[in-house]
Amino acid sequence: MPISLVEIRELTKKYTLSGGFFNSQRRIIHAVNNIDLRIFKGETLGLVGESGCGKSTLARLMTRLEKPSSGFVNFKGENIFSYDKEALKAYRRNVQIIFQDPYSSLNPRKSALSTIKEPLTIHRIGDKKTRNKVALEIMAKVGLNSQQANRYSHEFSGGQRQRIGIARALVLNPELIIADEPVSSLDVSIQAQILNLLRDLKNDFNLTYLFISHDLNVIRYVADRVAVMYLGRIVELALNKDIYDRPLHPYTRMLLAAVPSCAPRKKEKIIKIKGEARAESDKGCPFQNRCPYKAEICAKEEPRLEKLDEQSFCACHLTGSIQES
């Protein structure tokens, strides 16, 4: 039985938007909407969805960079939003984040060595000599050499900068790393190098990953399980192989249909879906305006994420009737 490292329950984050100068009416947007999710120790959980679906908001909530409107995140059985200052500091040693943009996530005034050892300084781990030694060891682990230690960020390529960001996340020896689109801004050839590095580091450091991406090919390569997110909700959760071989939710099928194929003559089995997203105030299924399988119940009642078997969950009223179509 896998051990839960993180348990997310009924997590919601709402933002209030102003109507503008000519409209005083305010709108409430649910960036994260009543999410239930578990991350098991030692796994890579892939989180995939279109831009704006709430993936990065979930990452910020999990790192306590933001507070939720409701719900909780348990780390090893403790609610992270109940932590005091000291407990939060300890939590942030155990949970680190790799940011999307390696250009803006590094301080241009700090050398590579200073950037990597900064978390050790903040947490008062070791003396200066020990911090330098640990930082240099981590640099070697991510493919950077000691001759590059005193260079500044503008002297590195995009891939090298991301290696610095990875080293900074690793230097505290965390248990969970949240990788928020870590390769989306890199060239394809460099993406493969960074993905292989992350897989190797997972084994070397016994890491658990929450790997966020809008690229299904990336998720297919790195993830053990995949959670599909739509308008702040998890609409499907299953093992990697099941998501790609037997997608159950129409939105998952739409995402897979959008992935470029190397076999243009291959018969398309996965539907293509058009249409606009449902308004926040509308009732029923959030995907109903784009779904070709829409039934009467879809306009009246929002489907819940239901367990189908030991590893598969889907939020669709018609799951049983469309999975083989």
Query: What pLDDT sits at residue 289?
Result: 87
For residues 250 and 80, give the distance between their C-alpha atoms in angstroms, rounded to a whole number. Answer: 34
Stated length of the chain: 325
pLDDT of 280 strictly over 90: no
For the residues of 262-313, what is the DSSP string, one character each?
S-TTSPP-S----SPPPPTT--S-TTGGG-TT--GGGGT-PPP-EE-SSS-E
The pLDDT > 90 percentage for the chain reads: 70
Which stretches does DSSP call E strand in 107-160?
A: none
Write the pLDDT tens digit of every residue in 61-93: 999 999 999 999 999 999 999 999 999 999 999
Average pLDDT of the residues in 87-110: 91
Query: What pLDDT sits at residue 206?
Result: 94
Q: What is the mean pLDDT of the chain?
A: 89
Query: What pLDDT sits at residue 279?
Result: 65
| Greater pLDDT, 15 or 262 | 15
pLDDT of 209 strictly over 90: yes
Query: What pLDDT sits at residue 311?
Result: 87
Compute CA 37 distance to the chain's CA centroid, rounded to the nearest angstrom. Answer: 12
Query: What pLDDT sits at residue 325?
Result: 45
Phi and psi at residue 152, in whole multiples of 5°? -100, 165
